[in-house]
Amino acid sequence: MAQGRVYLVGAGPGDPKLITVRGLKALRRCDVVVYDRLAGPQLLQEMRPGAERIYVGKRPDRHTMKQEEINRLLLDLALSGKIVCRLKGGDPTVFGRVGEEAELLRQHGVPYEIVPGITSAIAVPAYAGIPVTHRDLASSFSIVTGHESPDKLDRMIQWDKVTNATGTLLFLMGVAKIGYISEQLMQHGRSADTPVALVRWGTRAEQETLTGTLGDIEEKVRLANFQPPAVIVVGEVVRQRESLKWIESKPLFGWRVLVTRARSQASELAERIDDLGGEPYVFPVIDTVRQSDPAEAERIKAALLEADRYDWVILTSAAGVEHFFSWLAETRVDIRRFARARFAAVGPKTSDALAARGIVPDVIPSEYQAEGLLESLADKLAPGQRALLPRGDLARELLPDELARAGVECVELDVYENRLVVPEEDLLAEMLRDGEIHAVTFTSSSTVVNLLKALRRLGVEQPAELLAGCVIACIGPITARTAEAHGLRVTLTAETSTIEGLLAAMLKHRAPDTILEEERF
């Protein structure tokens, strides 16, 4: 049997982009990932297909698995020949009990690697606009556990030395003990006016910050019903928050947005949501694949061999452009054989895809859907003309029907298929039930239908009801009508059927005074 291996990986504080390159590499190569509640759920999407997930996280009300059991689990998995990723929130060496896990592996000769992560002790305050050091306010900081019982805290922490040892004090897992911690710090020399901040679920959409002083923070926590997990920051650096807070100033801050479009197309929308302060959760429910039916493939090739007989080539999506040129390459048809034809593109993305291949469309409608394209073509079409329409198998029949009414012979080619995709994970249904998805984006009717199908496959009997608490954002009126026909209450519809139009509609709903600008990183 092959030798197993364990990677003890720090996942970072919650924002999935804050995992290290080394940690991401280990996650992507593992056979099994053993994770806890503080590891961002999006990171699990980086696992390779077929890899196993085992949840061992702890919640305040119960322990899913004892630490000794986790240690043994890692050992048993590795001894069975598995490559294991132990994914831990923050940095595994900062109150992560990685020493216990690594020691048992070492005792049994199992190779392991400790992959550091960004600790929540510094990242979470940074996302709240609080630097843990400052030239004029604090030249050092201490990280202290606040999770233990008061008597154990007193045995482990020398309050007389810790209280004034550094300018900034950082307590992890100490919300429930905030009163005792504050009392000890004041008894040992810190002023009751010392600023304090508690940052809950820092770096995530749920990030929430509560500020006060040592003298009043316990009461503020009680009145706000402020719950863990949170990082506690004590020191003058907390005063920097009002001038330095940045993520909370972004217009989509606080929103976790479900992105349902094909993975190959999802990155643009996800990146823009991230730029605007939202947290994208990519859950592709559709994929575009090359036409697989042999009979249809032969029909596509035959139609392309008649390239010099077309007056129009009409493309309705960037995917259509990609697959059209793929079929041209396979059939060995030179694009110059379409010299007689004029090209029409339904929108800017389709136009850009054509331009990238050296073709500038003759017609681009102002309304980016079939109706707009027909309006733009109305005075250019003539009976007897011939049009080639390469597109997907789920496209509406409006375009070919109207072309036929105009006397144009339309050759429809299903150059690609839209297929339902159900990602290999069941966290989405749980997140929806817990209210952790705040908005859902639909970029086509297919994404609406497929998301509902995917949720049913994940065991949701009434998916429309589960989505009732989310903002439903549609890229255009056709998509919106499909959503409504399936029982969804559409919250907003883009004025222009583009990603920028969808983002603009989301901003208008979320932050009406925001002007959408192109952002660069």
Phi-psi region of 407 (alpha: psi -120 to 50; beta: other; left: phi over 0): left
> Which residues, at least 6 apart from 401, have a Cβ–Cβ distance to it below 8 Å?
none
- C-alpha distances in angstroms, 454 versus 46, 425, 457? 19, 11, 5
Residue where the block lists tokens 């989505």 = 467
What is the rounded CA–CA span in Å between residue 344 and residue 187? 76
- Locus of tokens 């883009």: 494
Separation between Cα atoms, residue 447 and residue 258, nearest integer Å: 11
Tokens for 338, please give them: 């379409």
CB 362 within 8 A of CB 373: no
Q: How many helices (H) and strands (E) does the chain have?
A: 20, 22
Q: Looking at residue 198, what DSSP letter applies?
A: E
E strand map for 354-505: 386-392, 409-420, 439-442, 471-474, 492-493
* β-pair type (208-213, 195-200): antiparallel
Residue type, 88: K
Identity at 268, one-letter amino acid code: E
**Omega before 229 within 30 of 0, i.e. cis:** yes
447 touches 261 (CB < 8 A) = yes
For residues 33 and 9, the answer to whether their CB atoms sit within 8 Å is no
C-alpha dist (Å) from residue 515 to 10, 280, 370, 520: 37, 20, 29, 15
Are 273 and 280 a contacting pair, CB within 8 Å?
yes
* CA angle (218 as vertex; 212, 223 as ends), nearest 5: 90
Specify whether the CB–CB gap between 174 and 181 falls below 8 A. yes
Catalytic residue ranges: 36, 58, 173
Amino acid identity, position 213: T
Contacts of 63 (CB under 8 A, 6+ apart): none
* Cβ neighbours of residue 476 closer than 8 Å, sequence gap 6 or more: 368, 369, 493, 494, 497, 501
